[in-house]
Amino acid sequence: MTSNIPTSLQPSSPNGRGQRSTAAAPLTLDELSAALAAIGGFEPRPLVAVATSGGPDSLTLAILADRWARGRGGVAWALTVDHRLRHESGDEARLVGAWLAARGIPHAILSWDGPKPATGLQAGAREARYRLLGEWCRAQVCLHLLTAHQRDDQAETYLIRRRAKSGPDGLAAMATVREMTGYRIVRPLLAVPRARLAAVLAAEGQEAIDDPSNRNPAFERARLRQTAVDGAVFAEIARHGHERIYRERALDRLIARHVILHPAGFALIEPAPILSVRGGLAAEGDLAERLFARLAMTIGGAAYPPRRERLGRLRDGLRAAPTRARTLGGCRYVPWRGRVIVIREPAAAARLDLDADENLVWDRRFVVSGAARGLTLSYLGRDGVAALDRGLRREHAADLPPLVHPALPALHDVRGRIVGVPHLGWRAADAEVLPSVYFRPVAPLTRPAFTVV
């Protein structure tokens, strides 16, 4: 194949380093089929998407996934994200599209428009990439997004996290399947060396795009690619993966038996069994700490869990003084009738102006659905409770403990007047149609299981 593109954009040879690889056997369609069968969950006539940058790994996966899907009467779409960080990125995306079109593989280019972050560019690009890929999958009702992360990527992820002193969960590296909202990310190549993917393109006579950032020593992952990986690393990854599965199952059992999650956005926990339970492995830490980390994200709306030392202090404090209220990660832990109520700290959340009719997510915890123009959403707060009590009938209390009332979502009109408290079943007599407000946290209390295939 030839192309009329500038020299700086000329694609690499299949192994991405300027020479063809002959040392590794190409990954076969039968092997990919076996990997996908082990993962399971595909339709009889599957519709899948493949994140395809045009590099050797993703291009190989797109070619083989297309053959796999066609063999079952389905379709595999290749999706290329143009981050628009380099002038040549648009030409590269179109070149990838031309290569795939020659093979009859449907292809879409998704562009990252708008301003780019001044710092944390790689993290910002990754977030934008998965956002665009996820939006395409949801719009097309495509349940499976395949990515070409392979064995070497898995080792690099482990080494980066080990250097950063990640906890045992992080050292499990990447899961084979990751459940997202409306679709799942599937990584069928985690056991396949990079060289075997390059060998597929060599056998096919297919060129690939060489992203210069993959060799830029400014990036840690690029530096790691120049070093050999000891085989013991993969045994360590597997061990951490299986131990993570064990821990997550133990935590899920603990949550199922001793935690109640209320649709108004708070939780009830039984402190005695939770604070006395420890995991079976010394390296995994206390299950109570893991639960508190989950609660910080589900009830507190935190994007990341608190540090382990803070979780440990909360655990020790609740054990030492079970009748004393405490706070951590945007949550209040308040003793109540032999249990502990975990409530959002209302002061920690910003108001949301509702000026659109589409679904909105507020405070990473609630989804607002329906017409909502001209209204504002915030937590009721103590002032709101005091104002509302003057006209609130007892039947509107909805059997909720009064101490959770300040942490309930409240709708205000343009004058700042409370016009609705959905979870109390209350609305002002003169209020028009109000939107629905559902507790649907971005970070659920129980998560899809970590997978090792």
Cα separation, 426 vs 414, in Å, equals 18
Cα separation, 89 vs 405, in Å, equals 52
pLDDT of residue 392: 59
Q: CA torsion angle for 406, 409, 446, 400 (degrees, to 10)?
A: 50
> Among all chains, which residue has been given the structure tokens 């939780």?
267
| Cβ 98 vs Cβ 126: under 8 Å | no
Half-sphere exposure of 129 (CA within 13 A, CB side): 20
Does a structural domain hold residue 452?
no
- Kind and range of the H or E element at 334? strand 331-336
Q: Would you say residue 213 has pLDDT above 70?
A: no
> Among all chains, which residue has been given the structure tokens 């079943």?
425
pLDDT of residue 153: 95
DSSP symbols for 354-401: E--SS-EEETTTEEEES--TTEEEEE-HHHHHHHHHTT--GGGGTT--
Question: What total of structural domains would you count in the chain?
Answer: 3
Assess whether 295 and 429 both reside in one domain: no
Does a structural domain hold residue 446?
no
pLDDT tens column, 270-323: 998 888 865 444 434 588 999 999 999 999 999 889 998 999 999 999 999 989
pLDDT of residue 2: 37
Assess whether 23 and 100 both reside in one domain: yes
Last residue of a domain, one of 319, 346, 373: 346
Does a structural domain hold residue 160?
yes
Assess whether 261 and 355 both reside in one domain: no
| Cβ 100 vs Cβ 78: under 8 Å | yes
| Cβ 214 vs Cβ 173: under 8 Å | no
Q: Which of 191-195, 370-374, 391-395, 423-427 is predicted most confidently? A: 191-195
pLDDT tens column, 3-62: 433 333 334 444 444 444 447 999 999 999 999 999 999 999 999 999 999 999 999 999
Assess whether 384 and 311 both reside in one domain: no
Confidence of residue 229 (pLDDT cuts 50, 70, 90): confident
Q: Would you say residue 201 has pLDDT above 90?
A: yes
Nearest to 145 by CA among 49, 34, 69, 263: 49
Last residue of a domain, one of 229, 250, 274: 229
pLDDT tens column, 257-275: 999 999 999 999 999 888 8
Confidence of residue 118 (pLDDT cuts 50, 70, 90): confident
The pLDDT mean for the chain works out to 87
Assess whether 75 and 191 both reside in one domain: yes
Which domain, by its residues, includes 414? 349-439
pTM of the entire predicted model: 0.79
317 burial type by CB count under 10 A (0-12 exposed, 13-18 middle, 19+ buried): middle
381 or 1: which carries more pLDDT confidence?
381
Does a structural domain hold residue 447?
no
